[in-house]
Amino acid sequence: MNVLLVAAARPNFMKVAPILAVMERRGVDATLVHTGQHYDANMSDAFFLDLSMRRPDVHLGCAGGSHAQTTASVMLAFDDIVVEREPDAVVVVGDVDSTLACALVAAKRNVPVAHVEAGLRSRDRTMPEEVNRVVVDALSDWLFTPSPDATENLVREGVDRGRIHWVGNVMADSLLATLANLDIDAGLSGYAVGRDGFVLLTLHRPSNVDDVATLVRLMGAVAEISEHKPVLFPVHPRTSPQLLLPEVQRILRRAPGIRLLPPIGYQDCVALQAGAALVLTDSGGLQEETTILGIPCLTLRESTERPITVTQGTNTVVGTDPHAITAAASQALAMRDVPRTPPVGWDGHAAERIVTALLSVPAPLDAQRQQPVARSLVHDEARLA
């Protein structure tokens, strides 16, 4: 099998690394494509080293720009690769613009698409990632879901069950493998902190960092929390310019407990999560990782596409209201030692299940791809009648 395996942004690397390792072990001809969507060395290059991944076979160099610019530039560059390599399948992960771009190119070139982390839904179409998820799932031939709720979402949307494969969470594969060889205390010592002695903060979503009023509210809440425990804040490249705004600078000057850090690599991120008393984030990946680690997490968004992290994990969706954030932080810190069990399938073997399905379940022929849509239309017409 000749496969193009696509990575683009930080969360992609943790999903791609274990899949690539299994493909190499099982003799799959995998071409690793890095679109370049994350261009900061600590946001992309460092992850290849931390995850023991080989360097990309193809680097498209499509960095920066608006959603439209990123999607268009990746499509143009990736189309050339598809024509040149003639793959049997394109494997995309997650929900970033590169995921959408590469899935679109493959579908228009009649190359079967596999979507890792399919079926996640926040039901908030103001999130660009939600639009990407819905479209990529509609285009995909293999839909690899990380949790039962993701599978149920696809079934409710009328997706043929033959295309849906529950495989578990491939992010857990990378996290568990990293933990097995990671000295957490040594990692924390590099930041002059100890276990449970700090709060970890990450912010990068446009709705939080591009809207000045929202960012000021969030940083005000973080400043209050930092009066009780220092807050370590690795700053995402898209967030960094916003922290220079006068309104935000005034908050930071009054909050010495907030420590701004440059972007960090994967191993450092895992060490900081594992050692934190609390994690504040708008990242989907950190919601999952803290669930596995058993660390309290407050999601600074109004919704989550990963509800299993709330029902079976340590995550609480608190929104952006400062009073709600500080109250939830106090409660979460008080319940620090409540045990949690990761969801079923978050066991370190998701990549094996993904590759097994790719090799054993053929992509449907063009005629077969039309059948689930036709059946869905017939069903809807009967129901409405």
Q: Count the neighbouring beta carbons within 10 Å of the beta carbon of residue 128.
A: 17
Tokens of 51: 């995850």
Cβ-Cβ contacts under 8 Å for 136 (sequence gap 6 or more): 92, 95, 99, 100, 103, 113, 115, 118
Tokens of 87: 């793959």
With H, G, I as helix, E, B as strand and everything else as coil, classify residue 42.
Answer: coil
**Would you say the C-alpha torsion 346, 348, 349, 355 has a positive or negative sign?**
positive
Long-range contacts of 328-337 (CB under 8 A, 24+ apart): 328/298, 329/199, 329/221, 329/225, 329/278, 329/280, 329/298, 332/278, 332/296, 332/297, 332/298, 333/228, 333/229, 333/277, 333/278, 333/296, 335/296, 336/196, 336/277, 336/278, 336/296
Find the catalytic residue in 165, 204, 236, 379.
Answer: 204
Q: How many angstroms separate the Cα of 78 from the Cα of each of 9, 81, 138?
A: 16, 5, 20
Tokens of 130: 């939600």
Is 379 annotated as catalytic? no
Q: Could you list the active site residues?
A: 204
